[in-house]
Structure 1
């Protein structure tokens, strides 16, 4: 689980940030943060699974209680890590699609911290050690990314939207260093334009912005390319001073207002990039 998770067509950069040297004080910080974080995450998972045993037979796909557990765990994780969390704008209330830029494994915590959402991931993620299990437990929707599976995707989206789920996608298709937004892949929006979804679907763009600790590389929290997860996690846990994360919720748009998937993808991409440009220099307390 501590090795890099293979990502097809992963984005990479010509230079990588310097690896943090962890001295004895750093290892003490790793222990002090890791132990309560493990208790929080896995304790929360146990509670979630127990509640889901009651929730599922009564509510089926509906999850009126367990998303609050996920949200509590994600907010608590930032407190334990010492990473300041801030949000701007209003999360979408009704069911629909949410798209965001992708910069780090911390995105999972950041995007769940205020808004109760369900990630949409490729089918292969369900088989990843540890992460796949956690993803299934929290209601991640796994899809096959192929033209032949388009009808199946529409059916799954309709089923989830019918119970008010907000489905989150990463249209860049990979993670970056957090300082830029890559072009959004229009193919990811193909299923949205099915007649069964087009007239009822709202889409909210979200920008996730990381603020590095004072004196550290601006890409400190970014996790991309072939970076190993273990060293990146340890660097985050060992940091003497932490930075912060800002999540910007942009006004939702109606899918029916767009002519095709390319126009939608470009508009959402520009919105997310503008949010990064506007708020990346903002300091959070």
Structure 2
């Protein structure tokens, strides 16, 4: 994992006007209700799912998808999908730009995120991540072998894991070099011959009157403040999620070659 990416010139934080606060209420209340009810329903159903199916989740991912699909019309943000999620035994890799990535990537397929361990303690997002089966990893190299074993186990049991190989979020305007470490589990003996990897590009378009980095969330930016800025915007922009063709792991010599291909593919969408 890389250190957190930051910028020398963060976007301006605009004061929220009276009308802005009305928009926060109009969008934020249904946003909170939908996400909250989805979380509660997921936790309740997991009490049934867990003893019957263990790590398998035949029901609750559909709740996650429904919530994430509802979020964009609630906040007035456009959503466009190019291409299709691949079928079969697939791992997904994408660029990372915002907390909105969680909703954009969950809206069209059943996936489980791989996230840094700090996220588990974040209010709101952390609770949602734990409830939806996120795999948390640390930046300690001593844990690399154990984490690789966890990835292999989850992938071999049919879980579609989503990785952010940049290791950090950015300002939506760039793609950082992909770290190759997270690609190593794909080359496990029981996975290399059957697993595919699908690169996905997340491209955010800010409202016309806003900073181009408006939806970006990085460094030490506060989640609550950023959420309020998004909810208060007079007009919203959009996000485009592009699903590129999946590739077979067996067609690559090693993790570096696979990481390079995925990075170049994701970058071309920018």
TM-score (norm 2): 0.94
Q: CA RMSD in A?
A: 1.7
Counterpart of 2:268?
A: 274
CA distance in 1, matches of 2:37, 2:248: 39
* Contact 1:186/1:262 (<8 A) preserved: yes
Displacement of 1:227: 1.6
SS in 1 for 2:98: coil
Runs of at least 4 residues off by over 3 Å: 127-130, 144-151
Counterpart of 2:41?
A: 47
- 234 and 129 in structure 1: CA distance in 2 versus 1, 3 angstrom threshold: closer
CA distance in 1, matches of 2:94, 2:106: 12
* Greater alpha carbon shift after TM alignment, 27-36 vs 221-230: 221-230
Q: Aligned to 1:134, which of 128, 143, 159?
A: 128
- 129 and 234 in structure 1: CA distance in 2 versus 1, 3 angstrom threshold: closer
Q: Aligned to 2:116, which of 114, 119, 122?
A: 122
* Greater alpha carbon shift after TM alignment, 128-137 vs 33-42: 128-137
Q: Unaligned stretches of 5+ in structure 2?
A: none
Counterpart of 2:210?
A: 216
CA distance in 2, matches of 1:157, 1:9: 21
CA distance in 1, matches of 2:223, 2:251: 40
Displacement of 1:215: 1.8
TM-score (norm 1): 0.89
Q: Unaligned stretches of 5+ in structure 1?
A: 1-6, 277-285
Matched ranges for 1:1-285 at <5 A: 9-276=3-270
CA distance in 2, matches of 1:150, 1:214: 43
* Greater alpha carbon shift after TM alignment, 64-73 vs 209-218: 209-218
Listed one character per residue, the Cα deviations across residues 127-148 of structure 1 (whole Å, up to 9, x for unaligned) are: 3344332211101112344444
Listed one character per residue, the Cα deviations across residues 185-230 of structure 1 (whole Å, up to 9, x for unaligned) are: 1122222223232222211000001111122111111111222222
* Contact 1:17/1:219 (<8 A) preserved: yes
Counterpart of 1:279?
A: none
SS in 2 for 1:217: coil
Listed one character per residue, the Cα deviations across residues 71-94 of structure 1 (whole Å, up to 9, x for unaligned) are: 010111111100011100010222
CA distance in 1, matches of 2:262, 2:58: 29
SS in 1 for 2:21: helix
Displacement of 1:46: 1.0
SS in 2 for 1:33: helix
* Contact 2:149/2:185 (<8 A) preserved: no
- 207 and 152 in structure 1: CA distance in 2 versus 1, 3 angstrom threshold: same
- 248 and 140 in structure 1: CA distance in 2 versus 1, 3 angstrom threshold: same
